[in-house]
Amino acid sequence: MDTQLDLIAIGRVSVDLYGQQIGGRLEDVTTFARAVGGCPANVAIGAARLGLKSALISRVGEEAMGGFVREQLAREGVDTRGLVVDPQRLTSLVLLSVRDPQTFPLIFYRDNCADSALCEDDIQEDFVASAAAILVTGTHFSLPQGARAQRKAIELKKAHGGKVILDIDYRPNLWGLGGHAAGASRYARSARVTEVLAGVLPDCDLIVGTEEELHIAAGVENTLEAVRSIRAASSAVIVCKRGAQGCIVFAGRAPERLEDGLVAGGMEVEVYNVLGAGDAFLAGFLRGYLRDEPHETSARLGNACGAIAVSRLLCSSEFATLPELNYYLVHRGARRALRTDAQLNHLHWATTRPPVPRSLCVLDAAACLAAAPPARRAAFEGVLAAALAQAARGREGCGLIGDAASGLVGDGAPLWQARSLAPEAAPDEPDGASLAVRLTEWPAAFTVRVAYGCGAGAGRAEQEPQLLRLAAACRAQRRELLLELAAGTAPDTADAMSRLYALGICPDWWLLPPLPDAWSRCAAIIAERDEYCRGMLVALEPDEAQILPLAAASPAVRGFTTGRTILAGVAPAWLSGQVADAAAVADIAARFGALATEWSAARDAQAPRTAGSTS
């Protein structure tokens, strides 16, 4: 069967808000981390991260939370053609916290929410036919419209060929059992739920659930009897998720004992949050199952993905990518507390960052802004942003480096943006505000730029502890780090880079001085120490035109920064009121645009050598 997609997941999607204070009541949580949630959305994202072509059929509201869901799914590579924007309803929300490894209070905000309005009209035949498999979920069979929509999808998939997968996904209070305060409940007897699910089982090719979910599907509270009952109704492969014990796969006749199934033992890890681990497991299992791997392989992938998920706080946004999964399968015995595994964490960060343009042309205005009167900084940064927007027309990859004390240009500008921090300001500000607090106030997409002196008298002993704290703060806030190696010779520059890597600092970007002899040395160090590094930027000025072709010829050089000569005349004139906004914008745009054009021409001449350098 020729299909465009591996999987279409159908049903719940929400914005999950996770309490960041661990060990307390939900009533006491003060800050939350945000992620896309809901079983089908989680599985679609997890599958996409593992290389499957996935899609989601659901609904979100016509508001900012719905926009976040749409944008995040797109960033993850999930096909959103089946995601309906509902102007009448709000996107579902979930609030949850972690009290201890067994207690996870949560509240579902789903009163007339967007995904609850999923209906038959949302199920398009050609879209369903384009996938090798569909995933339906138990929760949406609790809603009359949702049940009809999923039944339609099942019938279409049966008619067009392909697999039907059921995740039992039993949340009693989403079936109206237990009330709003019972969001954490995983099981409650219900003849109605059993009756509804009984009508779905015969049409499935794969049925996945915990022991309690198999109990509700079968209407019995003994796992062996539940498996036997489901087997009597369905020829589907049955997967029983058992948490830390792994899983058991039943692919043949009804078992005499649970051990007659394929028993795949769990992987020993420190549990941080079990919520969403079952969805991560299913994504991993489907990585094998939808590629016709043996069930042993599928189970191993599922168990590994579940183990990685329980070691982290969030659901979909912290699910494993394929490089993470492969690394863990090889090295999983090295560390039980996966949250402290530096290499696994680096792989996760590096393989889930948003993409950036192949080449960057960046106006470095940090020094100019820092020298400007505080009352004028924000306005001047607006002039700079307008100039870059003008220069960037028809060109991608323009950026601006400002100063941490200046006004912030909003995320809406189509620019790569960074802010400079002085190394001595990294641990704590004089007024007592910590770096982490300050960075929290920056727009999410802003990169942190900090300089590191390379020379012998550069004060490394004082800088390095601060840089370590800064790198940790950036990683904790999912913020990229641009590390400038300043004021050194070519050997100094390469030595400084090696030293910082040895300390465990892996910046996303390196900013190097215009020393061609240093670039090849540094490129070799990056290739050896961090294959996921974005690359190097080089500090260039228009009066250094002879260096620009050399930088463009280096595959590891991803772009340049400039600013000193471009801003030397116009900035003081604007700040003193001698030049109006429009004239300043035109002057900066022309000067910067000319250098960017020259860079692009030089880069295009090297296109065969740099075609693979996107990240």
Task: For residue range 255-277, list pLDDT tens digits in order.
Answer: 999 999 999 999 989 998 888 99
pLDDT band (50, 70, 90) for residue 2: low
Domain count across the chain? 2
pLDDT tops 90 at residue 69: yes
**Tokens 């490394």 label which residue?**
460
Q: Is 552 helix (H, G, I), strand (E, B) or coil?
A: helix
Q: How far apart are CA 306 and CA 328, in angstroms?
A: 12
| pLDDT of the residue at 369 | 92
| pLDDT of the residue at 424 | 55
Same domain, 384 and 299: no
DSSP annotation of 91 = P
Nearest Cα to 234, choosing from 194, 275, 204? 204
pLDDT band (50, 70, 90) for residue 339: confident
Question: For residue 394, is it within any domain?
Answer: yes
Q: What is the pLDDT of residues 262-320, one digit of tens each?
A: 999 999 899 988 889 999 999 999 999 999 999 999 999 999 999 999 999 999 999 99
**How large is the C-alpha radius of gyration of the chain?**
27
Same domain, 344 and 379: no
Q: How far apart are CA 548 and CA 550, in angstroms?
A: 5
pLDDT tops 80 at residue 592: yes
Question: For residue 322, is it within any domain?
Answer: yes
User: Mean pLDDT across the stretch 570-590?
Assistant: 96
Residue 262's DSSP bridge partners are 249
pLDDT tops 70 at residue 243: yes
Q: Which two tokens stand for residue 265?
A: 């033992």
| pLDDT of the residue at 437 | 79
Q: Is 330 exposed, middle or buried (0-12, 13-18, 19+ CB in 10 A)?
A: exposed
State the CATH number of the domain containing residue 600: 3.20.20.70
Question: For residue 588, is it within any domain?
Answer: yes
Are the beta carbons of 450 and 479 closer than 8 angstroms?
no
pLDDT tops 70 at residue 615: no
Q: How far apart are CA 446 and CA 408, in angstroms?
A: 10
pLDDT band (50, 70, 90) for residue 186: confident
pLDDT tops 50 at residue 612: no
Paired sense of beta strands 106-109 and 92-96, if any: antiparallel
User: Mean pLDDT across the stretch 123-150?
Assistant: 97
Question: For residue 615, is it within any domain?
Answer: no
Q: Which of 66-80, 323-337, 431-445 has the lowest mean pLDDT?
A: 431-445
pLDDT tops 70 at residue 428: no
594: left (phi over 0), alpha (psi -120 to 50) or beta: alpha
Same domain, 58 and 114: yes
Residue 215's DSSP bridge partners are none
Q: What is the mean pLDDT of the chain?
A: 91
| pLDDT of the residue at 247 | 98
**Tokens 């703060």 label which residue?**
473
Q: Is 207 exposed, middle or buried (0-12, 13-18, 19+ CB in 10 A)?
A: buried
Same domain, 419 and 498: yes
User: Burial letters for 7-26: b for 16+ Cβ neighbours within 10 Å, e otherwise?
Assistant: bbbbbbbbbbbbbeeeeeeb
| pLDDT of the residue at 333 | 60
pLDDT tops 70 at residue 37: yes
Q: Which two tokens stand for residue 451?
A: 């300089």
More confident residue, 106 or 459: 106
| pLDDT of the residue at 605 | 82
DSSP annotation of 271 = -
Are the beta carbons of 17 and 105 closer than 8 angstroms?
no
Among 350, 376, 403, the domain-final residue is 350
At residue 444, what are phi and psi to the nearest 5 degrees? -60, -30
pLDDT tops 50 at residue 611: no
Same domain, 111 and 255: yes
| pLDDT of the residue at 459 | 66
pLDDT tops 80 at residue 244: yes
Same domain, 337 and 389: no
Question: For residue 201, is it within any domain?
Answer: yes
pLDDT tops 70 at residue 430: no
Question: For residue 185, is it within any domain?
Answer: yes
pLDDT band (50, 70, 90) for residue 412: low
| pLDDT of the residue at 406 | 79
Q: Is 239 helix (H, G, I), strand (E, B) or coil?
A: strand
**Three-state secondary structure of 381-450:** HHHHHHHHHHHCCCCCCEEEEEECCCCCCCCCCCCEEEEEECHHHCCECCCCCEHHHHHHCCCCCCEEEE
In the chain, the percentage of residues whose pLDDT exceeds 70 is 94
Same domain, 291 and 391: no
Same domain, 276 and 371: no
Question: For residue 355, is it within any domain?
Answer: no
In the chain, the percentage of residues whose pLDDT exceeds 90 is 77
Cα dihedral 333, 338, 341, 345, rounded to 10, equals 130
Same domain, 325 and 408: no
Same domain, 548 and 471: yes
Same domain, 148 and 246: yes
User: Burial letters for 127-152: b for 16+ Cβ neighbours within 10 Å, e otherwise?
Assistant: bbbbbbbbbbbbbbbbbeebbbbbbb
pLDDT tops 80 at residue 458: no
Among 350, 376, 394, the domain-final residue is 350
pLDDT tops 70 at residue 105: yes
Question: For residue 452, is it within any domain?
Answer: yes
Among 317, 350, 383, the domain-final residue is 350
For residue 498, the enclosing domain spans 360-610
Same domain, 318 and 393: no
Are the beta carbons of 197 and 215 closer than 8 angstroms?
no
State the CATH number of the domain containing residue 336: 3.40.1190.20
| pLDDT of the residue at 426 | 44
Chain center to CA of 512:
28
One-letter amino acid for residue 90 of the chain: L
Q: Give the best-scoring range by mean pLDDT among 181-185, 201-205, 340-344.
A: 201-205
pLDDT tops 60 at residue 365: yes
Q: How far apart are CA 424 and CA 371, in angstroms?
A: 18
Residues in the chain: 615
Q: Is 170 helix (H, G, I), strand (E, B) or coil?
A: coil
